[in-house]
Structure formats: structure tokens, C-alpha cells
Amino acid sequence: MLTAYDASFASVIDQAGVDIVLVGDSLGMVIQGHDSTIPVSVDDVLYHTQCVSKVCQRAMVMADMPFMSFRDVPLALENATRFLQEGGASAVKLEGGGHVLPVVEALAKYGIPVCAHLGLQPQYVNKLGGYRVQGRDKGAARHMLHEAKIMQESGADMLLLECIPSDLASEISQSLSIPTIGIGAGQHCDAQVLVLYDLLGISFGKVPKFAKDFLAESDSIQAAVAAYVKDVKSGVFPAAEHTFN
């Protein structure tokens, strides 16, 4: 999985063999210049999803549900429907633990594929006090494992794990039948995701530990994305230096 926000990059990603293109609310930071994802609106994600879905021929397009766009079931159904009907997405992703289970259940009931998101949840940055690794103490790890299981039971089709210890990600992945997608969660997830601009080494500000500049070792953007696909599928990426203990 990689993020994309426009037709040109989405086409490159699609042709390189990436399986899922995520129109992430990370666009608030890498496109709009905000210091968090919180200002991103439904209309923002919808516009960029439309741009991406027009050119993706093989990859699944997934739209991120922005901050407070799924605060109750009716609103979540309305916004997710727009992402599929108007945006051309095939699935949505949403952040949150047990309190979003009614939303996950409702979306699944109405045939909308859902990717849940546990660990570091950027929409909660003001509550978390920053972008920090989650699940390091035993209590938090047990709670995350429990939430992962009930997300699956509630109808989530996949689970994104962000910035958690590699051992915890491995335990969660082994406990579920749905795929796990890691970002800063080690090698033992079923898939990996990066923000495209981190992969290309053009993000401004602090570079996350879990990121790698694939363009530095490639002669084109197309080659960099292809190298990412190859390294993820062969298990070369993420390496130890991209993971947390």
C-alpha cells in the first residue's frame, strides 16, 4: 500500500504493482502544509479520491475518513457512501478503538469494506500529546490486541497498525484472520504502507524512523516505487532500523 493524492502519482503507483492506493488524510500535511491531519475535510478527501480513482486500473483505492467524519453511524454511512459513489473508492479507512465499533458494524452491514486503524492514530494527536509509539507497556498491548480482535469480529476487512512494537504487531497479526498493514510496526504484518512523499524523500520536517528514501537509490520515481514493492514483498523492507521495540 502507498498513499497518493493525484492522478499522475496514482498512475505510477498502480503500474508499479502496488495493491492498494490510500488517499490518506496525510494530505493535510504533505499537500496542504498543516501540522496535523485534523483540518482535512470530507470534501478534501473526496476531491483527491476522485483524482486517484480515475487512473487506477488494478489497485484498490481506499479513502481515509477524516477527523470527526464518522462520529456517529448516520454520518459515517453518509460520508463513506460519498467516497464510494462520488469518489470511486472501493473501501474506507477509519481511526479509533472500541468506540468506533458501531460504525464498523454498520459500514460492513451495508457492504462498505473497512480498514480499521490502531496504534498511533494521528487524528488523536492532541489527546496523545504528540506522535509517539503506542502499546509499549503490557496493559496497553493487551488492550490493543483485544481491540484488534473485536474490530475483526465487528466486520473490519483489514487492520492498519501504526508505530507499535514489532513483537506486538506480530502477535496481533498471528491472532487475526484479516490482513494487517504495518507502518512502523515491523516485518511481521501482512502488508506495509508508506506516505509516498516519505518514500521519495521529499517530505518536509522530521522524517519518521519507519520511512525510507527509495528515490535516493533509484534513477526515477517509477524505479523507486518498484523497488519499494519488491522490497516489501521480499521482506527486505522494513528492516530493523525502521522498527520499534
pLDDT digits (tens, 9 = 90+) for 181-240: 999 999 999 999 999 999 999 998 888 999 999 999 999 999 999 999 999 999 999 999
Active site residue 162: yes
Give the HSE-up count for residue 10: Cα atoms under 13 Å, Cβ half-sphere: 25
The CATH number of the domain holding residue 218 is: 3.20.20.60
Count of domains observed in the chain: 1
* Structure-block grid coordinates of residue 152: 475483526
C-alpha to C-alpha distances, 194 to 13, 32, 110, 163, nearest whole angstrom: 12, 18, 29, 12
- In tens, the pLDDT along 104-121 reads 999 999 999 999 999 999
Q: What is the pLDDT of residue 34?
A: 96
Give the HSE-up count for residue 138: Cα atoms under 13 Å, Cβ half-sphere: 0
Q: What is the pLDDT of residue 207?
A: 87
Q: Is the pLDDT of residue 128 over 90?
A: no
Percentage with pLDDT > 70 across the chain:
100
**Mean pLDDT score of the chain:** 97
What is the rounded distance in angstroms from the CA atom of residue 59 to the CA atom of residue 44?
21
Q: What is the pLDDT of residue 205?
A: 82
Question: Which member of 78, 105, 162, 217 is catalytic?
Answer: 162
Q: Is the pLDDT of residue 173 over 90?
A: yes
- In tens, the pLDDT along 71-117 reads 999 999 999 999 999 999 999 999 999 999 999 999 999 999 999 99
Domain ranges, residue 103: 2-242
Q: What is the pLDDT of residue 215?
A: 98
What is the rounded distance in angstroms from the CA atom of residue 227 to the CA atom of residue 233?
10
What is the rounded distance in angstroms from the CA atom of residue 122 to the CA atom of residue 101?
19
Q: Is the pLDDT of residue 243 over 90?
A: yes
Mean pLDDT of 27-48: 97
Q: What is the pLDDT of residue 129?
A: 83
